Amino acid sequence: MRLREAARRLEGAADAAKRGDGNRDEIDLALADAVGAQRALYGPRPRAKKGEGALHKLRDYLLARVGEGVSSEELRFASGIQESARRIRELRVEHGYDITESGDMYRLESATPNAERAARWKRLNRIRRTKTSGFRRLQMMFEEFVGEVVDGETIQYVAKIPSAARRVRELRDEHGWPVNSKVDEEDLGIGEYRLVSMDLADRLDIRQRLYEEGVREKVFKRDNYTCQVCGRNRETAQKAGDTRFYLEIHHKSAVAEQLDALPASELNKPENLITLCHSDHLKETAKLQKRLQAERRAR
């Protein structure tokens, strides 16, 4: 029988390897023989059915080799599918397995999947399947993960719209949601965002949408990412236990009623802008409102 012949050949190659005069090509030929014998016995491999079969074979193969490096070629043999990268990702993200990757090698670090990661994935998918607009799905995602960092890939996956990153900026600049990006939080990577709070009182001043691209960043940088009233920055605030600290831009000489009258270019000159933390910004705004009311009454 051809399969037995291939096995004998492989055994011979193993003996040779043991003696120290092995030959890699000899193993390749034995393996090729085995694949040919498999085909002769069972016919061509049926097209892999959608999903489960290959995924389970892949998982079982890795589970039998926890902590060992496994090549994509091995996985190809083990699962019977050509491209295992997507399935590996599925095991990792959806099922919570800790699989590390380096070059062409994969390694399952632990037999126990990470339940937290799998649960997060379930929550994301529930939102992804919700039949509504992509922009609404984006909002639902931030609501669900308030305070947590979400990356660009996740945002794209859940929103299912082409310009998801632009819509996130829209959520912040036009709807005032306090969504931090790399500009506001140095710890965040490119494409990562974090909704700081769902509290309506924490919505940003709608006037922020008047800023030109990059002005916020310029002012934050100039002020060293530090509130110019209380002197706190993100790091010192966090150390003091304030997890809702974030920076905003305040108009030094802005009077609410001027907003419509003055061109945005005048109002939003960097010289007229200053970095404040959210709570000091609220105080400044309240002060301004009080002054305006007093002036109105005096008239």
Least Å from the CB of residue 228 to Zn ion: 8
Query: Which segments within the chain are labelled E, that is strand?
Result: 69-71, 99-102, 105-108, 149-150, 179-180, 193-195, 247-251, 273-277
Q: Which amino acid is at 154?
A: T
280 near Zn ion, rule: CB under 5 A: yes
Q: Which of 146, 183, 230, 282 is close enough to bind Zn ion by CB under 5 A?
A: 230
- Pick the closer one to Zn ion by CB: 10 or 230: 230
Give the β-pairing of 149-150 and 193-195: antiparallel
247 near Zn ion, rule: CB under 5 A: no
Q: How far apart are CA 223 and CA 231, in angstroms?
A: 10
- Pick the closer one to Zn ion by CB: 142 or 245: 245
Q: Which of 229, 255, 259, 288 is close enough to bind Zn ion by CB under 5 A?
A: 229
Choose the binding region for Zn ion from 66-74, 192-200, 223-231, 250-258 (rule: CB under 5 A).
223-231
DSSP-assigned letter for residue 226:
B
Other CB atoms closer than 10 Å to residue 141's CB: what's the count? 25
Choose the binding region for Zn ion from 45-53, 101-109, 155-163, 229-237 (rule: CB under 5 A).
229-237
| Cβ-contact 32, 49 below 8 angstroms | no
- Pick the closer one to Zn ion by CB: 108 or 254: 254
227 near Zn ion, rule: CB under 5 A: yes
Q: Tell me how many residues contact Zn ion (CB under 5 A).
A: 5
Residue 130, C-beta contacts closer than 8 angstroms, at least 6 positions apart: 136, 137, 140
Least Å from the CB of residue 276 to Zn ion: 6
- Give the count of alpha carbons within 13 A of 10, CB side only: 13
Least Å from the CB of residue 257 to Zn ion: 26
284 near Zn ion, rule: CB under 5 A: no
Least Å from the CB of residue 272 to Zn ion: 19
- Quote the crossing angle between the two packed helices 2-19 and 24-42, to the nearest 10°: 160
277 near Zn ion, rule: CB under 5 A: yes
Which residues of the chain form contacts with Zn ion (CB under 5 A)? Answer: 227, 229-230, 277, 280
